[in-house]
Amino acid sequence: MELNEMPYLLLGALASVRDDSIKNVDDMITKGKELAEGGKAKVKDAAQDNKLEATIQDLVKKGKKESEDLVDAIGGVVKDTLDSLGIVTKADIKGVEDRLADLEKKLAPAKKPAKKKPAKKKPAKKKAAKKPAKKAAKKKAPKKPAKKKAAKKA
């Protein structure tokens, strides 16, 4: 490369940078538009999600209420069936127990427990007299002192 070609090199570099800059700016504008449109779509999607969530919550509430109503209706039918068959229920038994407890309380003061007489004590049996113990056997002979061995000289 010669010195007289240097200005052409600089002009080419500037033209290349200009073209790249214009291309980059156009790409940035396109991406910005896409993001703006995508943001609008996301806002719309979020609004639809909120509506959908509210609808789901309403359905859940209605479902709970209807299941409670169904359980109440079934309970009523079972109760009516038991009443018509004359089957004793826990409530019936509880009522009878309460009445019995009241009657027992009323009768308790009238009925006094009889006093028990103390049991007669039997005389204690006498034990046979013990025989005197035998006198100690022969006395032991006193111990003799142990003999000492003579020390050996070497």
pLDDT at position 15: 80
First to last CA, the chain: 122
Q: Please write the tens of the pLDDT for every residue from 36-94.
A: 787 777 778 888 888 888 898 999 999 999 999 999 999 888 888 878 888 888 888 99
Do the domain assignments include residue 135? no
pTM for the structure as a whole: 0.33
DSSP 87: -
- Of 92, 112, 111, residue with least CA distance to 100: 92
Do the domain assignments include residue 61? yes
Do the domain assignments include residue 115? no
Do the domain assignments include residue 152? no
